[in-house]
Amino acid sequence: MAFRLHLHERKGMATAQQRKLDEIRNDLFSDNDTLVAKAIARCEEEGSAPMVEPLLAFYASQAPNALKQRVAELLGSLKVSNVEGYFLDALAKREWKHIHKEIVGFMWNTGLQPVEAVIQITELAASGEYALTLECLTLLESIEDPIAEEQLLESIAIVHRAMSDGPDSDYKKLLSEYLRVLNMQRMQNDLIE
């Protein structure tokens, strides 16, 4: 009996959290700037990992720049746990390609260590967009935790392919720096072992 009650309480909490997220999403995407501002303030006060997705969706939208700037400041200063997956899911969305650079920047600003997603970050870096590659490099350089050898080897292969595909340019120089950081990470792994 107590076990059922405990499960019911947890389910109720999950439902309450989902209702809160739905309310925030509805307010964020209302045409009422006052409601939008209140939803952003609510996220600032009650920040939790699941709120990242609606905030990123809002940031990706055609919302007024002043409100988007508030959301950007919030996303870049989050101090809640378990947000990495939400950012990585957002980076996988092609329809949000126009904000991938900012998402990587938010990840760096919040101090995330995406060691399990170095391949995903490297694929973005190898996409041909200089500014996005620069953000990916900055994030990669900030990773202090050990990165798995498979992640590093696949990332190195991705960068080599990107460098051989394009003409010589500043972008290629940036990729060379990215490659140097990957190789440094491999050397650090060798020292740890």
Is 10's pLDDT higher than 60?
no
At residue 193 the predicted structure's pLDDT band, cuts being 50, 70 and 90, is low
pLDDT of residue 107: 97
Name the CA dihedral angle for 157, 161, 162, 168, rounded to a multiple of 10 degrees: 120
pLDDT tens-digit profile of 72-111?
A: 999 999 888 899 999 999 999 999 999 999 999 999 999 9
Is 1's pLDDT higher than 70?
no
pLDDT tens-digit profile of 171-188?
A: 999 999 999 999 999 998
DSSP secondary structure code for residue 166 in this structure: S
What are the boundaries of each domain within the chain? Answer: 1-95, 113-193
Mean pLDDT of the chain: 89
Is 157's pLDDT higher than 80?
yes
60 contacts: CB under 8 Å, gap ≥ 6: 95, 96, 98, 99
pLDDT of residue 155: 98
